A and B are shown apart, each in its own frame.
Chain A
Amino acid sequence: ETGVTQTPRHLVMGMTNKKSLKCEQHLGHNAMYWYKQSAKKPLELMFVYSLEERVENNSVPSRFSPECPNSSHLFLHLHTLQPEDSALYLCASSQGTPASGYTFGSGTRLTVV
């Protein structure tokens, strides 16, 4: 247990489904992140939230919709996904200072069928 909890751990969804990924941290961190990790590709930063405000959106398709209702929770809402969206989705949190690294969750393995 790292202090960042992601649910569910595994998710299989059809292309017409709507689902949500959840991330929760109780480390007192003020920044949260979504990353996508596909096989044989570099880590892709999707979204950055700082103090509950979205500060970065790396050209992510609109079928991915993030939500940060408070500093402890981060969601990624999914709808009409494509098979190429199948990947490990990682959430991380950070204190947002120069010396602070990230604490990652264990990830959600998403399969789109």
Chain B
Amino acid sequence: AQSVAQPEDQVNVAEGNPLTVKCTYSVSGNPYLFWYVQYPNRGLQFLLKYITGDNLVKGSYGFEAEFNKSQTSFHLKKPSALVSDSALYFCAVRDIGFQKLVFGTGTRLLVSP
């Protein structure tokens, strides 16, 4: 079965510093990978996705993600963190049969002023 793992429950970073939120995947076949962000008491919002093509994917709010096939990773990155980036981030992969997304456990990002 397709799966993703987010090894960090929380990531702390100072405002202005680069941030990375880690995700590794396990799939049969081609991976279709996604990142979502969730602010308190809200639904998840789409950030970006990798389907095929360039390994560096650019998304909303200045975020980008690097697809690395050899390391089976899809880490989320941003060159300069903002306090407003503090939220819960989810990595996800399309399941076989494409009926659903399989989500990771989420990583809380805390950006300090």
Task: Judge: A and B partners, yes or no.
Answer: yes
User: Given that A103-B46, A107-B41, A107-B43 are known contacts, is A98 also in contact with B32, CB under 8 Å in the complex?
Assistant: yes
Which parts of A40-60 form the interface with B (CB within 8 Å)?
42-43, 45, 48, 50, 55-56
> Quick one: which of A6, A98, A102 contacts B98, CB cutoff 8 A?
A98
Q: Which residues in B have their C-beta under 8 angstroms from that of A2?
A: 43, 45
**Nearest B residue to A105 by beta-carbon distance?**
B43
Chosen A-B contacts, 20 in total, with CB atoms closer than 8 Å, are A31-B100, A42-B103, A42-B104, A42-B106, A48-B99, A55-B99, A88-B41, A94-B101, A98-B32, A98-B98, A99-B51, A101-B101, A102-B36, A102-B44, A104-B36, A105-B43, A106-B41, A106-B42, A107-B41, A109-B41
**Total CB contacts across the A-B interface at under 8 A:** 60
A3 to B65, CA, bound (A): 25
Most buried by A among B36, B44, B49, B92: B44
A94 to B100, CA, bound (A): 9
Q: Which residues in B have their C-beta under 8 angstroms from that of A42?
A: 103-106
Query: B22 on the interface (CB 8 Å rule)?
Result: no
A31 to B42, CA, bound (A): 21
A30 to B34, CA, bound (A): 19
| B22: min CB distance to chain A, Å | 16
A1 to B91, CA, bound (A): 22
A98, B99: Cβ atoms closer than 8 Å: no
Q: Which residues in B have their C-beta under 8 angstroms from that of A55?
A: 99
**Nearest A residue to B47 by beta-carbon distance?**
A101
User: Given that A96-B98, A98-B32, A98-B98 are known contacts, is A4 also in contact with B103, CB under 8 Å in the complex?
Assistant: no
Per-residue B-contact encoding for A10-45, CB less than 8 Å = 1, 0 else: 000000000000000000000101000000001101
